[in-house]
Amino acid sequence: MQGAPETHASLPARTSPGREALLAATITVGLRDGLTRVSYRKVADEVGVAHGLVRHHFGTLEDLIAESLIRSIGLSLDVTGMGYDEDAPGAFDENFAARAEQHSDIHAFQYEVALEARRRPKLKAAVEQYYERYRAMVQQRLLSIGIDDDGMTDLVWFVFDGLVFRQSTSPDTEAAEIALQRLQLLLALFRERGTAGREG
């Protein structure tokens, strides 16, 4: 699968501490006040800097929100345990559902941006990159347990996306954990069927 396309929202290779603080502040303001109320001044006030500094780093508010979305991807992969770890390959972290609930704020921000992109087209490229990054992570996990199937990758990604949304809005960790157990069973059966087909 080809990597995600470069967009104006891609984070630079190196970011200054000031820039990182502004991105974090954007997430905070967006969650507290709503994306429509994100402004240079509010973000600057959150960090304690002049609002001209925010404008200097980011050309438009859409650029600021989009880059904050991309920054949030790494954060959410880390806190949910979904990030791929070469030292611990395999399926998915058994505590995923509980972690998704515990860190629901970062996911809520991501869903807010995805919905806002319906009204602000300049955010769409960042949202596409957001979806591509998560799908690629699911694909890596499945490849590590011997499953190379685009349809199954989409199925698992859709399950996780829906589960995270539920845990971010009206959490039911017990039900989510049971669902993940069933998903693991489904993956095991799918892998066994594929192995049997190759041996046959």
Amino acid at 43: V
Q: Which residues of 153-164 are buried (b: 16+ CB within 10 A; e: fewer)?
A: bebbbebbbebb
Residue 6 has pLDDT above 80, yes or no: no
Of the pLDDT bands very low, low, confident and very high (cuts 50, 70, 90), residue 88 is low
Measure Cα distances from 22 to 36, 40, 51, 104 in Å. 17, 10, 10, 20
Q: Which residues contact 55 (CB under 8 A, 6 or more apart)?
A: 40
Per-residue pLDDT band for 172 (boundaries 50, 70, 90) equals very high
Q: Tell me what pLDDT residue 130 has.
A: 92
Residue 78, pLDDT above cutoff 80: no
What's the confidence (pLDDT) of residue 19?
Answer: 87
Q: Confidence class of residue 153 from pLDDT cuts 50, 70 and 90?
A: very high
Q: Note the pTM of the prediction, 2 decimals.
A: 0.77
- pLDDT at residue 76, rounded to an integer: 83
* Model confidence at 31: pLDDT above 70: yes
